Amino acid sequence: YSSNISKYSNNIPEYSFNIPKYSTNIPKYSFNIPKYSTNIPKYSSNIPKYSTNIPKYSSNISKYSNNIPKYSSNILKYSYNIPKYSSNIAKYSYNILQYLQMF
C-alpha cells in the first residue's frame, strides 16, 4: 500500500496549483458585472428627459431601452461561469481530502 500512497501524494500539488488558476477567473468576470450595470442607469436617466416630448423622442426611448437587456444578458453569461469554476475548485479540494485521508 505504501507505494500507492506516494503515487497519490504526488498528485496533491498538481491539483493544488489548479485551484488558484480557477479562482483568479472569478474576480475577472465579477468586475465585468458592474461595468455593464452602470450603463443601465445612464440610459434610464435619458428616458425622463425625453418623456416631456414623448411624440418627438419616443423612438429614442425604445432605442436606449433595447440596450438594457443586451447588457443584462452579459451579466448572466458571466455569472454562469462562476459556478462552473467553483465546481472545479470543489472537485479538486475533494480529491486532496480523499488522498490525505489515506494517511
Helix axes 67-101, 11-51, angle to 10 degrees: 160
Q: What is the pLDDT of residues 9-33, one digit of tens each?
A: 555 555 444 444 444 444 444 444 5
* Residue range 51-73, pLDDT digits in tens: 555 555 555 555 555 555 555 55
pLDDT in tens, 64-98: 555 555 555 555 555 555 555 566 666 666 666 66
Rounded CA Rg of the chain: 24
Proportion of the chain above pLDDT 70, given as a percent:
0
In the chain, where the domains are located: 2-101
The residue assigned the cell 438594457 is 68
DSSP state of 103: -
